Amino acid sequence: INAEYGGGCNMGSRLDDPREERLSFFERTPCATGPPLSRTFSIIATFVFFFSMICFFILVGFRVNLNPWTEGVFTPPDTPSLNRSEWRLPTWIQPSFYTITLEPNFDGLTTHGSEIIHIKITKTTKEIVLHASEITIQNVTLYNRKVSNPIHIKSIDTVEHSGMIFLVLEETIVVKPDSFFEGWLHITFNSKINTVLRGFYRSKYYKNGIPYYLGVSQFEPIDARLAFPCFDEPGFKASFNLSLIIHENEMALSNMPVASKFKIGPLRWVWHFQETPKMSTYLLAWVIGQLDSINSTLNYPDITKELPARDIRIWTVPGHSHEATFALSTALDMIRWYEGYFDIPYPLPKMDLVALPDFSFGAMENWGLLLFRQDLILKKVDDTSAAKKQDVATILAHELAHQWFGNLVTMKWWSHLWLNEGFATFFEYFCTSQIFPDWEMMTQFLAKEEENALLFDSIEHTHALEVDIQRPSEILGVFDPITYNKGASLLRMISSNMGMPKFRNSLRHFLNQFKYSNIETQYLWEAFAQETQNPELPKYLEPWTSQPGYPLIKVTPELGDDRRVLITQHQFSLYHSTPVNNTENLWWLEIPMAIKTDTNYRVQTLLMFSRSMELSIGPNVVWYKANSGQTGFFRATYTDLTWRRLGGYFIAFNVEDKAGLINDALVLARAGLLSYELVTPFVSRLHDQLHPSVWTAALKELQNVAYMSYDSSNTTCYFSVLNYFQSIIPDSRNLNNRTHLLSLLRTRVLNFAVDIETRNDSTVASYLLGIFIDHMQNDHAIPDGLRSAVFKAGAKFYGEEEGYNYVFNR
């Protein structure tokens, strides 16, 4: 008799576990053998014993729980059906391991799949709920870790609005307090291969006019459920063991290296991959097809710290791998930098980066299998433009940062998405600045990312960094400039206030503490508080993620005392003529105030926790400017007299302050809080500015001024504005590519010039149109960095439709 199960030697049929060597409960007690008489006696004695025990419990009034999923005496509670209107999975069912086998049919756009999901249940239930969308379940059975007989499924309820399926069991799983049920689901199913770039989809490319196909996965945020049944929320981390059955002419990639390959029939091979670390379902990935690659090995031969050599490889469609040279060398440098900065090695044994012909996102950070739209990561050998190199570098830095922030540690739910994307956007610039210091990426961050966040966060329908997301349809809405750009800007402000060494130490502690698990914003605040030894810090940081918007700081001299200023904060709104006076919205602010007197210059830091406060600035002040260095996420305004003084000294400021001043002035004027007359001194000095960040901070708002001045019935004002703008544009034809930043400036200014140009005989238009005609008629190359401006000029000015049609067909 088997002592553990209380049953006979015949254990019955049961599913073999693919990880059987780990499951000691499969070790069966050998059958006893002996004379027939002793075996008969044993059976009779056992029957009498169990019958006596049952009678005993009935007589004393106890109820025996004979449910085999638990042990001992226990009265289970009522088990009502789970609510079909819920949008979130219950947390008392947790997966730990998936074994998945998929056999795609690209001609029929279907996949036959089989999977085993190991689960743990901590609550009595008669139903199991998980995600499956557009999937046909063929068969599903639940197996118990401690009992041989399977638990059959009585019915499957599908709830389309939530993408959930409810497995109604024939028997109730009874779980005692402080106990749990362990087992696994065995599911066979058919799913779809779609052509809409989500879930498991078919990608197409052409070679010599012949179409070829790739099988690609894209699961973020909630599309793993389209490919296989799963617990498709980021908080349900598990390990994955994937096998793909594919044609012999194809190859396959996934998160981990190939463990084995073997043939199973005519033209069919099984590619079996190593087990992944614990990760969320949206990070599982695979690519199937014919691909070329270049590779290098990531190792550290010059240091004593032992790190394993890892293969870093970039894959492309056939014939394009030579275009990945710059991306590969840059990726190697960046991985080394991230490993040093976080002091945590990249934990997987390899990294594949795949350039795809069609991909819905620009890129995706799947752990160990990063996917990119090919035009964003590949660079032709003869393309030396600064803009292209910077685009490739920054998208690499962003996705590589996710290998730590997003993959190693992952937000619990999409409400905390900023912890993924804010960090990746911040390090997109910070890491690139360390690899290419001459590019001045953190200054560019201010003009591109932070100013964009300030703009979006000032409109009526902005939202807080942390959003209460309940329905799946709400998730994609938070993949926006607030989550990415404001999240990164908040980190820039915090790192500046803390100091970079403490910021780095906080992140190292944070990543080590929560690696392979899920996080919330509060965990990050506590890490910062611990490093700074300031237990009040989470209280001060919390409004920055829980409240939408940001403050407008107004600095005004005290009446009768020009040695003191009054500083107030109110929420800024772009479309209100007066600041939003919301008494509930206050922010903790660290305001660096630059003060210039007759004899000296100093920066005085003010900590502000209230609606208003005073600051002593001393005598003989020539000018003062709040938010010195533009490190704070807020705007600042002053009296008309102070604005005039700042405009008069504009040339004296550094690049960051120039960009902040001109952007603040233009946006405040658009909001009706500042006269355009006071903005003119800043704009008029753009002609002498040769840093792209100053121009970038102004260009979008200058375009808005041009659009607002247009009136079809009277174009006098409009053309006056355009003529003025054209007068301040530097002659970018003469800006060669001798530096990265000058090349960027040339590209951005020429694009702006074409956007506002109305005549094809102007200096800029004639210059660009000549390049376009030479390219179109003689196939001559377009100079580096001018492609977009040249094509704009051609589409706008060449012929009635000929130029436009040429550009459109390119």
- Catalytic site residues? 399
Written as six digits, the tokens of 632 are 């704070």
CA separation for the pair 610, 591 (Å, rounded): 13
Burial 652-663 (b: 16+ CB within 10 A, else e): ebebbbbbbbbb
Q: Report the alpha-carbon distance of residue 172 to residue 386 in Å, rounded.
A: 65
CB 142 within 8 A of CB 150: yes
d(CA 777, CA 803): 11
> Which pair of tokens denotes residue 505?
């130490």
Question: What CA–CA distance (Å, rounded) separates 4 from 487?
Answer: 54
The amino acid sitting at 286 is W
Q: Which residue has the tokens 């190859």?
A: 251
> With contact defined as beta carbons under 8 Å apart, do 228 and 192 qualify?
no
DSSP, collapsed to helix, strand or coil, labels residue 100 as strand
Q: How far is residue 684's CA from residue 599's CA, in Å, rounded to a whole number? A: 28
- 210-218 β-sheet, strand order: 199-207, 210-218, 286-289, 251-254
Contacts 24+ apart (CB under 8 A), 438-443: 438/739, 438/740, 438/741, 439/390, 439/740, 439/741, 440/655, 440/693, 440/741, 441/394, 442/492, 443/655, 443/656, 443/659, 443/691, 443/693
Rounded to whole angstroms, how far apart are CA atoms 96 and 56? 41
Can you spell out the DSSP letters for 408-477?
TEEESSGGGTHHHHHHHHHHHHHHHHHH-GGG-HHHHHIIIIIHHHHHHTTSTT---SS----SGGGTGG
Cβ atoms within 10 Å of 79's Cβ, excluding its own: 15
Which residues are bridge partners to 564 per DSSP?
616
Comparing C-alpha atoms, which of 629, 625, 471, 463 is closest to residue 553?
625
Q: What is the 3-state secondary structure (H, E, C) of 311-335?
A: EEEEEECCCCHHHHHHHHHHHHHHH
Edge-to-edge order in the sheet of strand 612-616: 612-616, 561-571, 551-558, 635-638
User: In terms of C-beta density within 10 A (0-12 exposed, 13-18 middle, 19 or more buried), how is residue 385 classed?
Assistant: buried
Pairing status of strand 551-558 against strand 517-519: unpaired
Which letter, b or e, does each residue of 167-197 get, where b requires 16 or more Cβ atoms within 10 Å of its Cβ?
bebeebbbbbeeeebbbbbbbebebbbbeeb
**Those residues with Cβ within 8 angstroms of residue 146's Cβ, 6 or more apart along the chain or in another chain:** 4, 5, 25, 68, 69, 182
Residue 405's SS3 state is strand
Could you say which DSSP state residue 226 is in?
G
